[in-house]
């Protein structure tokens, strides 16, 4: 399950890199996690960042298990499930990022966190979908989830899934209302190799959102035991 990513660039770099207006409320995200309010670019609003909750807002998340928050959608299921196909047709978004995290399992209860980036350390798009609904008191809320694919060759030694990273031209196509079949076909493992390095266990805590999260650290499991898997 994909549960962490980062977008550490400044608002100026985000605006230039993604070609959108970035509102004053933007802040770098070193440890973006489910229930956080995060920037996305939607089909309906392609000229600027919108801020949606990943999976579900915090007030509702407390009552749900992680697997019930709908934070990921497997690309392989889109053609099989009519509800997913409908969402893909009308509620696509892209999630701006410059890295993401995943964990290598080294035992039944032990794992090591790694951060994955492009080789040039640049920004990239992740494919997603979004929803609008009203909560119990009639307030309109917006959420998004991330589409995942099988891992490419550089990621597979660490984990079994990866986010659906889109090349720049495919990112534009993803937001095109007229494109349907071709955008689903584009949801394949990212063609380029990614670089990765181990980070500290700080990434396990969603409230830790600072530069220390992305700093390389010796490969150690959640119990602090150093390993040879880096």
pLDDT tens per residue across span 150-165: 999 999 999 999 999 9
d(CA 53, CA 71): 10
Per mean pLDDT, which range of 7-16, 106-115, 122-131, 132-141 is the poorest?
Answer: 132-141
Domains by residue range for the chain, with CATH: 5-214 (3.90.1680.10)
Q: What is the pLDDT of residue 26?
A: 93
Q: CA-CA distance, 188 to 3, in Å (whole number)?
A: 19
Give the pTM: 0.90
Q: What is the pLDDT of residue 112?
A: 93
Least confident range from 17-21, 91-95, 220-224: namely 220-224
In this structure, the chain runs to a length of 230
Token digits for 128? 């997603």
Residue 178's pLDDT band (boundaries 50, 70, 90)?
Answer: confident
Nearest to 166 by CA among 103, 229, 92: 92
Is the pLDDT at 119 greater than 90? The verdict is yes
Q: Report residue 13 CA to chain centroid gap.
A: 19
What's the pLDDT band for 101 if we cut at 50, 70, 90?
A: very high
CA distances from 168 to 83, 99, 135, 149, 172 (A): 27, 16, 35, 18, 7
Residue of 124 and 230 predicted with greater confidence = 124
């Amino acid at each position: 399950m994909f549960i962490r990513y980062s977008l550490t660039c400044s608002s100026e770099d985000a605006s230039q890199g993604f070609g959108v207006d970035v509102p004053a409320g933007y802040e770098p995200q070193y440890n973006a996690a489910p229930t956080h309010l995060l920037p996305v670019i939607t089909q309906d609003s392609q000229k600027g960042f919108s801020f949606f909750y990943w999976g579900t807002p915090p007030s509702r998340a407390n009552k749900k298990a992680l697997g019930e928050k709908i934070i990921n959608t497997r690309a392989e299921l889109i053609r099989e499930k009519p509800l997913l196909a409908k969402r893909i047709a009308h509620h696509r978004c892209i999630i701006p990022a410059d890295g993401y995290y995943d964990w290598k399992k080294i035992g039944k209860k032990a794992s090591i966190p790694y951060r994955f980036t492009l080789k040039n350390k640049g920004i990239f798009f992740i494919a997603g979908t979004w929803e609008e609904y009203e909560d119990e008191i009639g307030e309109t809320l917006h959420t998004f989830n991330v589409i995942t694919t099988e891992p490419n060759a550089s990621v597979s030694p660490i984990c079994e899934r990866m986010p659906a990273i889109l090349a720049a031209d495919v990112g534009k196509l993803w937001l095109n209302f007229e494109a349907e079949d071709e955008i689903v076909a584009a949801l394949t493992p990212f063609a380029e190799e990614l670089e990765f390095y181990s980070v500290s266990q700080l990434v396990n805590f969603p409230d830790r959102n600072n530069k220390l999260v992305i700093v390389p650290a010796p490969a150690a499991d959640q119990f602090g035991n150093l390993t040879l898997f880096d």
